[in-house]
Amino acid sequence: MSVVRSGVLGVCLAGLCYSSLAVAPVPAELVHFTSGQVLAIEGHRVEGETAALTLRGGGEVLFDARLIDSFKSVASPPPPPPPAPATAPRPLPETPHAALIRDAADQHGLADTLLHALIEVESSYRADAESPLGAKGLMQLMPGILARYGVRDPFDPAANIDAGARYLRGLLDEFGIRGGLAAYNAGAGSVRKFGGVPPYPETHRFVERVLRIVDAAR
């Protein structure tokens, strides 16, 4: 039985020891050499002045036992938990007029979650909603907006949603998401005047409420 001497030891440690430490399986033992180098192994046996080291990748290497300082057991960590299953996108809640909302969002390049949030805040999905100021329908459109988009019956869900989506699309293009929502609530003139969301508490609450609903639907 031949014994690996110190000159070969350095080559072995450079070629085997550190590459072994990079292998995924956890070793059973660590060999600490008198040179300060460390080798990860599966096991060992000592026969006289020779140490036979079983490598993790298979096979056995012989070393002069005098070159080894100590063997230390390595506790295997518990197996990692199984990966969590991929979560499917949260579906939108079942709401009235979902198909009309989706179609209008697709036609006008909007996220349907945004239209759902706007309608929830404006009318709670009530097609017959009417405000004291005269805003009508699901998207609470004022008479001037209804006339601009040729809506004859403001309480018709399809016509109201389509006009509201077209109106919102233009506001978003001009002001961005927060400014566009603020303009929907307070008017485009107010957003232009203040260079952004105007300092109206009601408008700030409106913008934040819509965005919270959008975030919760993601």
Match 């040729």 to its residue by tokens: 150
| Residue 43 neighbours by CB distance under 10 Å | 14
- Cβ-Cβ contacts under 8 Å for 65 (sequence gap 6 or more): 46, 48, 49, 50, 51
**Helix 157-186 to helix 98-107 angle, to the nearest 10 degrees?**
60
Q: Answer yes or no: are the C-beta atoms of 67 and 34 closer than 8 Å.
A: yes
* 151 touches 160 (CB < 8 A): yes
Based on the residue annotation, tell me whether 42 is a catalytic residue of this protein: no
CA–CA dist 32, 41 (Å, integer): 11
Q: Show the tokens assigned to 189.
A: 């003139």
Q: Choosing from 47, 120, 122, 208, which is the catalytic residue? A: 122
Q: What is the amino acid identity at position 94? A: E
The CA radius of gyration of the chain, in Å to the nearest whole number, is 36
Strands 29-33 and 68-73: antiparallel
Q: Mind telling me the catalytic residues?
A: 122
